[in-house]
Amino acid sequence: MMEDNQSFLDLQVDEQASTQLTEASRWAKFLGFIVLIALGITVLMFGMLWNKLDSWFLTYEEMDAESTRVVKVVVAVCLVIAVVIGAILMTFLIKGANSIRAGIRQKDQALFNIGLGHFRNYLAMMGVLGVIFLLFALIGFFGR
Partner 1 sequence: MIEQEKQSSDLFGDLTIDPMAKQYLRSMSGWAMVIVVVSVIGYALSIIDLFRGKRPASFNRAEGFNMSFTESASGSEVFSSLLSIAIGLLINYFLYRFARQAKAGVEGLSQSELNSSFGNLKAYFMACSIILIIAFVLLLLAAMVLGTRTAMQ
Residues near partner 1 (CB under 8 A) are: 7, 9-18, 20-21, 23-24, 27-28, 30-31, 34-35, 38, 59-61, 103-104, 107, 109, 112-113, 116-117, 119-120, 123-124, 126-127, 130-131, 133-134, 137-138, 140-141, 144
Q: Give 84 or 132: the residue with its C-beta nearer to partner 1.
A: 132
Q: Is the dihedral of CA 119, 120, 122, 127 positive or negative?
A: positive
- Smallest gap from Cβ 17 to partner 1, in A, equals 5
- From the list 92, 86, 90, 84, the residue with the least C-alpha distance to 114 is 92
Residue type, 95: K
Residue type, 84: V
Q: Give 35 or 76: the residue with its C-beta nearer to partner 1.
A: 35
- Smallest gap from Cβ 2 to partner 1, in A, equals 16
Looking at residue 38, the DSSP 8-state letter turns out to be: H
Looking at residue 10, the DSSP 8-state letter turns out to be: S
